[in-house]
Structure formats: structure tokens, C-alpha cells
Amino acid sequence: MEKIWTTSELLNWGKSYFAAKNISEPRLNFELLLCKVLNCNRIDLYLRYDYPFKPNQLNELKGLVNRRIKFEPLQYILGEVEFYGNKFICDKRALIPRPETELLVSHSKEIISLLNKPKPKVLEVGIGTGCVSISLAKMFPDVEFYGIDISPDAISLATENQKLNKVENIKFKEYDFFEFTKFSYFDLIISNPPYIPKEHYSKNNLQEELFFEPKIALTDDADGLVFYRKFADIINSSTNNIKLILEINENTSKKIVELFKNENTETTKIMDYNNLDRVLIIEKNK
């Protein structure tokens, strides 16, 4: 007779199994997979400790577990992620939103609130899931938001997330950043560009999970500074008081800051929760 597995038995087994497979936070990972199968919250697992799993539920769980032990990111397996208090569809079409990137939203929020003009215009370069622009657009319904990305997959995912979050004051377009020419139209440009240097993009240097994410969103296939050089050209050639807010790589942050150092610009560097350089704000000297 086939064994009947309860929630508590699966939790104990799953924690040990994931730990043996070197999955970080093994209990939390397994809890969230159980939640997906049962379509419940984590607290509900402990209210259903003796719940007997049906064969079809065990088969579904087995499939999810097999994906995770191959180091497919948990967020892709769950199909969604929370970012800045909002829910977003999350799959292999775009980079997974990170908690550190919420800093980009927080400081963009401060900048936008100080833009003293009617209908400010904000551009995001490299939208991914759309989480940054959508989170801001929900807070600022009177601001016009635009997002560009070279990836049609990212555009489709961001558009789905726009509908999910019921946001209307934003437009996503497929564009190559290096061919886009209308930067002077905007008051603020936001970006979390690909910043991993080509030489560091290897399984010896990065977590296994990263190789499930779009390569184009992680590395510029050069020295990690290609996008920042373009941003430096944009602000140096602009005739308006455009501001930039960029996520940066702690390993190349000094080089990035140097790109923007001149008599015409002022830079502010912000650290993340781990005291690593994470956000750079660049604006014209007043």
C-alpha cells in the first residue's frame, strides 16, 4: 500500500533533502513549494499539519522539487514575486526583481516628488518585469512613465504586469537603448543595466540560479561599463536638467562614479542593506 504523506512529514523530509542538495534556506524553499501545490499561505501549512497529500498533489510537488534541485530560481518556479508591496508575474522572460532594487524605487520616488512641473516624464531603460516603473506609476498617477527594452519577451511580461497592477500612466516600447535618441524629452531616467563584466560571467564566479536568467540582462559582454558610458554621454550632452538614477555593481562602482565626474555633474552614491554600493544619482550642477 502506497504511503500517505502529510504536510508535517513532507516539511521534515523536504528541509533535509534541500539541505543535502545545497539549496539555500531549505525549509523556506520547501514551504513555498508546498504552498504553491496547496494554493495557500505559509501560515496555512501549520494549520493543516496533518493534511494528507493526494497522489496528483505529490506528483506536482515532485516536479517542482526536481526543478529546484537543478537550481532553477524559486521565483520562476512559483511564477510570481513581491516587489515594493506589489505582486508581479515572474518567469524566464526577464530578470528576477531583487530586494536591493527597491532602493532604486525609494530614491526615484524622492526625486519625482521634487520635480516641480506639470506632467513630469520619466523613462526606465531596461524594464525587465516592469517592477520599477509600475511601482512608481502606481504612486504617481499624474506622471508620464515610459519604459524601453531591447527584449520583446521583457516587453510582453512587463505589459502583463501592467495589466495585473491596473496601471495606465505607462507605455512600454521595444527599443535598443543605444539607438534611442529622445532622452532630452525626460526629466528623470532610471535604469538597472546589465553590469556583470564578461570575465566574471561564469559558473566559477556566480550562483547557479543566475544562469536561468536572461544573459542580456546580466552582462554587457564587455567590461560591465558599456551602459554607464552611454548614460554619461547622455547627461553630458543634455541641455535640460535631466537626472539619472542607476543601480550599480559594488565591484565596479568606483569606475562607474569616475565616468560621471566632471565640472557639469554632481553624483550621490547610496549603499544597500549590506553596506555595498548600490545606487548612483547623477544630476547637472545647478
Say if 24 falls within a structural domain.
yes
- Within 8 A by CB and 6+ apart from 271, the residues are 277, 278
157 shares its domain with 41: no
65 shares its domain with 102: no
The pLDDT score that the predictor gives to residue 3 is: 83
Residue 33 structural domain: 7-70
User: Rounded to an integer, what distance in angstroms lies between the CA atom of residue 110 and that of residue 116?
Assistant: 12
Please count the residues of the chain.
Answer: 286
User: Rounded to an integer, what distance in angstroms lies between the CA atom of residue 198 and that of residue 165?
Assistant: 35
233 shares its domain with 272: yes
151 shares its domain with 20: no
Please measure the distance between the N-terminal and C-terminal CA atoms of the chain and give it in whole angstroms. 78
> Is residue 83 within 8 Å of 131, Cβ to Cβ?
yes
The pLDDT score that the predictor gives to residue 35 is: 97
50 shares its domain with 128: no
The pLDDT score that the predictor gives to residue 239 is: 82
The pLDDT score that the predictor gives to residue 117 is: 87
Say if 87 falls within a structural domain.
no
The pLDDT score that the predictor gives to residue 262 is: 86
Mark 69-79 as b/e (b = at least 16 C-beta within 10 Å). Answer: eebbbbbbbee
- Within 8 A by CB and 6+ apart from 242, the residues are 183, 184, 186, 187, 188, 189, 234, 235, 283, 284
Residue that is written with C-alpha cell 551602459 in the block: 227
52 shares its domain with 125: no
CA 196 from centroid of its chain's CA atoms = 15
Say if 167 falls within a structural domain.
yes
146 shares its domain with 244: yes
102 shares its domain with 182: yes
126 shares its domain with 170: yes
101 shares its domain with 199: yes
Say if 237 falls within a structural domain.
yes
The pLDDT score that the predictor gives to residue 121 is: 97
The pLDDT score that the predictor gives to residue 82 is: 96
Give the total number of structural domains in the chain. 2
The pLDDT score that the predictor gives to residue 286 is: 65
Say if 84 falls within a structural domain.
no
3-state SS class at 90: coil
52 shares its domain with 118: no
The pLDDT score that the predictor gives to residue 139 is: 97
Say if 138 falls within a structural domain.
yes
Say if 166 falls within a structural domain.
yes
Walking along the chain (286 residues) 10 residues at a time, the average pLDDT comes out as: 87 97 97 96 91 95 98 98 97 97 97 92 98 98 97 98 98 97 95 96 94 97 97 91 95 94 91 94 86
Burial of 38 (0-12, 13-18, 19+ CB in 10 A): middle
In the chain, the DSSP E strands lie at 80-83, 86-89, 121-125, 144-149, 170-174, 188-191, 243-247, 265-271, 277-284
101 shares its domain with 235: yes
The pLDDT score that the predictor gives to residue 164 is: 98
Specify the pTM.
Answer: 0.93
Say if 156 falls within a structural domain.
yes
**CATH number for the domain that contains residue 277:** 3.40.50.150
